[in-house]
Amino acid sequence: MMTTVELTKRQLQWKDEFKAFTDEVVAPSAAESDKTERIAPSLIEKLKEKGYLGSMLPKEYGGMGLDWVTVGMLNEELGRGCSSIRSLLTVHGMAALAILRWGSDEQRHQWLPGLADGSLVGAFALTEREVGSDAKSVQTTAVLTEDGYVLNGRKKWITMGQIADVYLLFAQCEGKPTAFLVPSDSPGFSRTPITGMMGVRGSMLAELRLEDCVIPQQNLLGLVGIGLSHVALNCLDYGRYTVACGCVGLGQACLEQSLQYASQRKQFGAPLGDNQLIQKMLTEMAVNVKAARLLCCHAGHLREMMDPDSIMETWTAKYFASGMVNKAASDAVQIHGANGCSSDYPVERYMRDAKINEIIEGTTQMHEMLIARNMLSAT
């Protein structure tokens, strides 16, 4: 059942802070990140200074201890400014939360303080050349020896793979998907940058190579065989939530740019916004952004309450928000006309970034299957 979520005074203060940071720091650097296909180290330093890389972690380990609705608002605002910055928080948080939930006390104290203050960057390494949505079929292997676990295989499309210090990496161990923590300085580990992507170009993708890569036995996260059923699915739930919220922010950016352009651009002696068909696109954009925001806020509220329905509501939010932002970005480009196809206008980048959100953390089609099957099983 849908509930009404009213933001507290403190949450509204956080929202204002996130908006100001995005306007002053994130948004002005987005075009450069897209062009250079990297996030400037100085920008990551500013994220560290604000503590945002630890937004999802409890204060016990040096994190901000934010509630889930507030974490969603942070990802919305960062997504409004730059999808690549938001992707950093997504994969960093996936690794950090996996350690928080499934790690031993030793692993938590070893890794979480650094992930919380940003001195360490985490990444999520599941996808391979031949394995995407069918995650249980990963081909990377892990074999226990007297020296530790020896890993062999390749991972592809790994967000922040170029700069991560530790990877939450999944491999077949004893024939079962299992999660491991793989430091970037492990013997036998190497990474190659992936460039030329269509969108979210600053996310610094990499292909990882593990050639007799040796990690300590204590870097096993959780138990052998629960890598997919427990660790990965829990991480992907957080990932979907942050991506959905980032889609809301990107949709809001599309709306703001379209309103500004429609007000200033004149055709046939009148502002473009006087055209009723333009008004229709603007109205649909505004209403759909609001609807997606409410779905995300509801999912965040249920996460905070530890309600099991939060998983289904997060699927719903990600499915709707990623579809919404593609329609919003397409209409924003249409409103801008030829200018919308030029990198001189941010909506060109928005449209490329929007498409990526329909693929990452579960494609639109996978969400359709998940949502439908869940409803059918409940009947």
Q: Which string of DSSP letters, residue by residue, matches 85-136?
A: HHHHHHHHHHHHHHHHHHS-HHHHHHHHHHHHHTSS-EEEE--BTTBSS-GG
- Summarize pLDDT for 92-131 with one digit per residue, the tens: 999 999 999 999 999 999 999 999 999 999 999 999 998 8
- Contact present, 94 and 168 (Cβ < 8 Å): yes
Q: What is the pLDDT of residues 134-156, one digit of tens each?
A: 778 899 999 999 999 999 999 99
As a whole-number percent, the residues of the chain with pLDDT over 90 amount to: 91
Rounded to whole angstroms, the Cα distance separating 82 from 140 reads: 32
Give the pLDDT band (50/70/90) at residue 1.
very low
Active site residues: 361
What's residue 70's pLDDT? 98
CA dihedral sign of residues 245, 25, 353, 289: positive
pLDDT of residue 4: 58
The whole-chain average pLDDT of the chain stands at 95
Secondary structure of residue 155 in the 3-state scheme = strand
Helix (H) or strand (E) holding 358: none
pTM above 0.85, yes or no: yes
3-state helix, strand, coil split of the chain in percent (to 5) is 60, 15, 25
The DSSP secondary structure of 323-339, one letter per residue, reads HHHHHHHHHHHHHHGGG
CA distance 63 to 61: 6
d(CA 244, CA 272) in angstroms, rounded, equals 31
**Rg of the chain on CA atoms, in Å:** 21
Amino acid at 299: A
**Is 90 exceeded by the pLDDT of residue 267?**
no
Task: Give me the domains of the chain, ranges plus CATH numbers.
Answer: 9-117 (1.10.540.10), 122-224 (2.40.110.10), 228-377 (1.20.140.10)
In this structure, the chain runs to a length of 379
Interval 292-340: pLDDT, tens: 999 999 999 999 999 999 999 999 999 999 999 999 999 999 999 999 9
CA 202, CA 187: separation in Å to the nearest integer? Answer: 27
- The average pLDDT across 159-163 equals 98
| Two tokens, residue 342 | 């030029």
Give the pLDDT of residue 3: 52
